[in-house]
A = this chain, B = another copy of it.
């Protein structure tokens, strides 16, 4: 009877809590790319010592979310057209590998998770709720990567995903071109993974991310040409 017991205390250092709080804040898009963040202000805002906050910031710098400017401050990462190309090609490469591994050796529970994530995406598209579609889109990608059963791959993918989130939250773009397009692109990947077709899964995962990345790069170019 779990409900008869008090909930276990979650142990997490203040340093890690600070990093998590900062990450959430920055990935929310509420602070613009290039914004200077100072340790004194942030430490005051989240209620920890400055040195504790530094640990968090160093961690986010390692994740590519902030950039350290020595003796000056920290900046929220700005993502250029080249950065977008890099993120989407890297995401394509990592996901392609994950889809291949998931198709080859994903176990029944992880396959079920992929199937559920795909169904959730379909349902969100049917309701045409863009925010929910976006969340389900990420969740499907993630479920495929988790289905690969490869911790390092999942860890590296998470770093890329965070930067993809940062870009989407701060760039005022809509990644997809329509609900039908979203469904079609993800169907090919999901079906290949679920049917165990490793080659097709790898190819479709690559293609989906690559084409999305090229679309975004083109969007950035048009935007820059105003």
Contact = CB atoms under 8 A, between A and B. Distances in A.
A90 B51 contact: no
Number of copies of chain A assembled together: 2
A66 to B, nearest CB: 14
A221 interface: no
B86 A90 contact: no
Interface string A76-95: 00000001001101100110
Nearest to A160: B152
Contacts of A96: 93
B89 A11 contact: no
Nearest to A98: B93
A129 interface: no
Given A11-B70, A70-B11, A156 B90 contact: yes
Contact of A97 (B15, B93, B160): B93
Nearest to A15: B58
Nearest to A152: B86
A184 interface: no
Interface of A: 11, 13, 15, 51, 54-55, 58-59, 62-64, 70, 83, 86-87, 89-90, 93-94, 96-97, 101, 150-153, 156, 159-160
23 contacts: A11-B70, A13-B70, A15-B58, A55-B55, A55-B58, A58-B58, A62-B62, A83-B152, A86-B150, A86-B151, A86-B153, A87-B152, A89-B153, A90-B97, A90-B150, A90-B156, A93-B94, A93-B96, A93-B97, A93-B153, A152-B160, A156-B156, A156-B159
Given A58-B59, A90-B150, A90-B153, 4 more contacts: A62-B62, A87-B152, A90-B97, A90-B156
